[in-house]
Amino acid sequence: MSFTYKYARPAVTVDCAVFAIDFEKENLKVLLIRRGEEPFLNHWALPGGFVHTDESLIEAAHRELQEETGLTSIYLEQLYTYGNVDRDPRERVISVAWFALVNLEGRLLEARTDAVDAAWFSLDELPSLAFDHGRILSEATERLRGKLKYKPVGFELLPELFTLSQLQRLYEIILDTSFDKRNFRKKLQKLDVLIETDEIQKDVSHRAARLYRFDRDKYRDLESRGFYFEL
Amino acid sequence: MSFTYKYARPAVTVDCAVFAIDFEKENLKVLLIRRGEEPFLNHWALPGGFVHTDESLIEAAHRELQEETGLTSIYLEQLYTYGNVDRDPRERVISVAWFALVNLEGRLLEARTDAVDAAWFSLDELPSLAFDHGRILSEATERLRGKLKYKPVGFELLPELFTLSQLQRLYEIILDTSFDKRNFRKKLQKLDVLIETDEIQKDVSHRAARLYRFDRDKYRDLESRGFYFEL
DNA sequence: CCCCTTGGTGTATAATGTACACTTATATAA
DNA sequence: TTATATAAGTGTACATTATACACCAAGGGG
């Protein structure tokens, strides 16, 4: 079976920059897959693939992530659409790029399937990537840094329950700065989007910290009234 | 001549939300074209069209604007890519949407060619638009409002030389607020990206205001050192 | 030459951001 | 059981920034 059109049509793909925080190593990681075919055979690349005709762009992104990395129901946000004529050596390919945030919660290297070779790379030890994926990834990283300051996306990188110190470290790792503990907490208190649970940290060899939860509903409500998240 | 592929391919288009400020009527305007064919015959729509295989996405956007509205060398920024399966009743069409900013400088209704019927609409008197263009336009408007606060995009809507009052009115119109004149000027002074020219307003029946120019180079320089524009 | 319109300017007060250090709780090792 | 190590948790003084506010100047038109 084949499909014929009056004018030439580009192929359309989705590609995802999937980020996670590695709290042990204190750095930001991105998920890459090793290509099993030409071009760029054996090069590392962003997970992604062709958009099917019966699925929306975001559905395509979710499906490709599921197929190539096993990740499901993760935070996805459209980044940019790359359409330079020669970005793929074979033919015209337009790629809708997404950035994705996941919390690893211990399963740091579990995210590989039998089908494809997938691995987490820290951002300062990146291999050279296939196509223009290096550029896509660096623009995605920049976007993440920018967004972190004025949208509560950081919580997508944390487990459901987290401590205030974890949250602070997350910001410090991604933005590569350090915050004063008291001032950081003061700000969060005023933002008023955290729910203090009555649970505390387990299995730590020091005073256990209180666990908090991000109140998505409350945030949406505040946001719709013109409230401006900023950290 | 025709083109055949193994898998079905979507058509790819670009669509542009072109904004301008109408200082007489004190409102924000958007450029629409009247469709000359089905579907949505005679409906108003965003200017746009199919991406050719030998041009990048931004080139396609510029070309379509030139062809349909006569506008050349204007500010263009990618907005979002819309790819819902049924957004075009005929077949699968993926549209890369752009928002564009122009300064009219008097030529308010000149922007129509013989080929297509084009007109400026104020945002609160919009007709119902073809396809999902209503949604695209409202998301573009939201993006413009957001961006205005932390990027110096407002200058794209002004002539090369402008008065501080014009700049202030521009912000007030788009953000639908009002600013204190002295505080507004104080902020601009601290941003330090305006060049005071030695020219003044002509043909006004009151004291003539000094004309300023936006210093793009200086802004780029400051931005690269981590400076943060905010108004 | 008077009036109308817009241009242009400073200061006092409130609100917000920043810098900074000690006590508390818990697990582990002596 | 006691000592030690580690991170948790908490308030205040000072600096910086944002806000509110009113009058004189300049120029054109009647």
Spanning CA of A101 to C1' of D14, the rounded length in angstroms is: 40
Q: What residue ranges do the domains of chain B occupy?
A: 11-132, 152-224
pLDDT of residue A45: 98
pLDDT of residue B112: 52
Task: Map residue A162 onto helix, strand or coil.
Answer: strand
pLDDT of residue B111: 47
B8: phi > 0 → left, psi -120 to 50 → alpha, else beta; which? beta
The answer to whether B187 CB sits below 7 Å from nucleic acid chain C is no
Question: For A104-118, what is each residue's pLDDT tens digit?
Answer: 875 545 545 555 789
pLDDT of residue B114: 52
Output the CA angle B38-B17-B179, nearest 5 degrees.
150
pLDDT of residue B23: 92
Spanning CA of B169 to C1' of D17, the rounded length in angstroms is: 24
Report the nearest residue to nucleotide C5, CA vs C1'.
B206
Please give the CATH topology (third level) of the domain spanning A152-224: Arc Repressor Mutant, subunit A (1.10.10)
pLDDT of residue A177: 96
* pLDDT tens-place values along chain B, 231 residues long: 899 999 999 999 999 999 999 998 999 999 999 999 999 999 999 999 999 999 999 999 999 999 999 899 899 999 999 999 999 999 999 999 999 999 987 554 554 555 578 999 999 999 999 999 999 999 999 999 999 999 999 999 999 999 999 999 999 999 999 999 999 999 999 999 999 999 999 999 999 999 999 999 999 999 998 888 999
Residues of B whose CB is below 8 A from A10:
9, 12, 51, 53
Write down the ipTM of this complex.
0.94
Question: Model-level pTM?
Answer: 0.95
Q: Flag whether pLDDT at A95 surpasses 50.
A: yes
Question: For A50-72, what is each residue's pLDDT tens digit?
Answer: 999 999 999 999 999 999 998 99
pLDDT of residue B229: 92
Listing DSSP states for A42-111 in one string gives T-EE-SEEEPPTTS-HHHHHHHHHHHHH---S-EEEEEEEE--TTSSSSS-EEEEEEEEE---TT-TTT-
Rg of chain B's alpha carbons, rounded to an integer? 20
Q: CATH code for B11-132?
A: 3.90.79.10
Among all residues of chain B, which has the CA nearest to that of A228? B146
The answer to whether B182 CB sits below 7 Å from nucleic acid chain C is yes
What amino acid is encoded at A221 in this protein?
Answer: D
Mean pLDDT computed over A208-213: 97
Higher pLDDT, A11 or B69: A11
Whether B3 contacts A9, CB under 8 Å: yes
Spanning CA of A182 to C1' of D24, the rounded length in angstroms is: 48
Bases of chain D below 7 A from a protein C-beta are 5-12, 18-22, 25-29
